[in-house]
Structure 1
Amino acid sequence: MPVTRSATRSLAPAGGNNKTTAAVSLPPAVGKSSKRKAAEEPAAAKKTPRAKKTKSSDESAATPLPSGAFIPPPPSPLQNESEETISIPAVLTFSFEEAKAHLIRADHRFEDIFAKLKCKPFELLEQVHPFRALAESILAQQISWLAARSIIHRFTRLYDPSLPEKVADYSASKCPTSFFPTPYQVANTDILTLKSAGLSTRKAEYVKDLAARFADERLSTIKLLAADDESLAEMLIEVRGIGRWTVDMFAIFSLRRPNILPVGDLGIQRGMLRWFLSRHSSKHTFTISPHKLSGGEPDNDKTKVESTGAMGPPPTTPAPKTTPGSQLTGDVEADNGVLSTSSELQTQVSASINSIPGLPEPFTPSIDKTLEADAMNPEPLPEGLSVANLKSRLEGKKIKGVFLTPAEMEGLTASWAPYRSLGVYYMWALSEEKKS
């Protein structure tokens, strides 16, 4: 039987808890002690290895692979030392305490917000492998978190048939996130085999394109970490099925970039409306009818309620939305990530509140006390925005399918820079009001 060992290493110091490993089959090694023992045996015993080899062959023949079984491609020769196997270390590139202080200076209400809810992407740090995060993001596009979890498990099981047939068969002590195929293996898997795991043809093509780029090192952990925010977007949007929204989610939840503003996320826009409207007008109603939350007809698909764990843990409370993990990049976005019509944009953004992993739970209604607290030195609203039109936007009167334009979002959060990502995280928690 082949010996397996992890092919994933990290930039972090030794001892880190790396959950993103890939099993790599290695040929059985002949140690020095074995050679010495063979040399010391009597000449008559030298035929023993041949007898053992025959026995081993008989054992293998007794347990043949099922007819038509998929045999995962072997790892690349240089895979064990390849950049494609390096994880993103569980560290921040900035001071979290300094970022908190900056946001509190910009708006003192953030002090209470930080006390009420942890900023998970920047406080609960784990090593992340970029290929796995992006691949799972593609696999989870436009489906419920339960369906995504099942497909990701079936996809993974293509490369390790020893895994339980059903994801529900995992015990609490055996987490399904311990193994993931390598980019080289996925890149060398044919489309039909990938589709057998439940992938659509497009998703199979997308994940193969992503894998090929990591396998030949057009993409690597080193390159992604070294790129600035815009270069990162340019690099990833070249991948089929990845658009700007998925790039922003990856930058926040996997790379932990501090100054990301996902201007195309409808959930963030709604949260910002509540946040800034309450700063300038404490007396108003936040109630939004369900059909206005989704930007159209009520969503009757009860399965589309939670998020997947492509870039983080799924939210514990379902919400009628698509979250930062709701990668609408594949089945909705064009290959280059550009949406051609406002209705497509609305569909994507609307979905963005449902499938993102690691999104915060909605605040309870008691958050109104925090929102309505008198702000110190409140900044004026950006030109073109008023309390009246913020209210009308919150009630569902969008502009070209969105609640806030990119320029308006930039203007409203100008004082949050260079730590917009932290503020953005809490806007998701404000996008829906949790029922008491």
Structure 2
Amino acid sequence: MQVEQAKPLGDKSEQPGDAEQADQVELAVIGLGYVGLPLAREAASVGLRVVGLDRDPRVAAALNAGHSHVDDVSDADVRRMQAAGFLAYTDDSCLARAQTVVICVPTPLSEDGGPDLSAVVSATRAVAGRLRRGQLIVLESTTYPGTTEEVVKPLLEESGLRAGEDFALAFSPERIDPGNTTHGLRATPKVVGGCTPSCAARAVAFYGKIVDTVVQAKGTREAEMAKLLENTYRHVNIALVNELAILCRELHVDVWDAIRCAGTKPFGFQAFRPSAGVGGHCIPIDPNYLSYKVRSLGYEFRFVELAREINARMPEYVVRRVQDLLNTEGRALHGSQVLLLGVTYKPDIADQRESPAVPVARLLRKRDAEIAFHDPFVTEWSVDGMAVPRVIDVTTAVRSFDLTVLLQDHSAYDLPRLADEARLLFDTRGRIFRPGVEVL
């Protein structure tokens, strides 16, 4: 294991404590979703005894039956975890048995645009009710700087135990990229920030068993900010290239070729590509945590606000282009049949969180288009509670629909053949450059 800026181990919080039990496990993961389940799998694969806690009884029951609900964790992975002793619980009594507890619960946006910490608070209270001396508690849920020390720590200390003295407390931002087979959890450096140097040392030692490289932050706030910086950087640059795509069309510039050329520079440039919008569990959400925190201090985070505005208007731009394409063929969008290909937020996974396909479909319906969809990873799809019809044979379907919109470039799609067969094809992913295909 490679460790950057790790400090020496060694204080009484490293000891198991007085309440050690014979059936003790090394890790309890709270929240068995896209972050927690891969963490549990990786820990079990290196020989740690792992349990999981999820409040959804369907999730726990499915996992205990050997079935995964997460793209990056297969049923075979779950069975191997079970063979290593993994069990999923809905009862928080399992937390008292764990040397380390990692909180991986969702932090969506609240109605006022800030982070909804209700799941974090609930999980922390569950931990506090079972907290014992010597435990390591780590928050991985993405949130604003200060959450670990201002929200989690006081709740845990209601137990009468003190962070850095009786138990260790740290923050380590998740860096899960669903569908990425190159940079999995083990190969991706893990940032860790502790409430005290001894807390950080405990967390570094724990994650060093699971990942190849651990990077120690100065503290929990720096670790929390690192996560937001990573995704704010992407959010802002995606907005930049999305706006460029709109402007380049007016300037008669091929934005895709400009990006290709700029991407040949071996330093100082990273290529981002335009799309129908921003989806996923990080980029559309995380920068708002930072913006929310900045606003609470009386400032504006204008980059984030502008990026959000630009990215949010991309579905409207896509639908306007759809309308223009149909107009050139002498058809109105009203009453036209439009086929949407790929409704997940990224290629080759089933994850639909914050997918731009939803606002695109909503806007098309608002303009009275007749929509259907195809996605090799999604069998049923609804928008605003209304089911969208799914076509079975995509090659046959593109021949009959007035317009086909490629929203997600799944590798299962034979794009050249679809381009040949479609009556009209609008490629929002920049994958099909040939006469007769309109590209974003």
Specify the TM-score bucket, using the shorter chain as the normaliser: under 0.3
Q: Which has the higher strand share?
A: 2
* Higher-Rg member (1/2): 1
Q: Which has the higher helix share?
A: 1
What TM-score, normalized to structure 2? 0.27
Q: Relative contact order (C-alpha < 8 Å, sep 6+): which is higher? A: 1
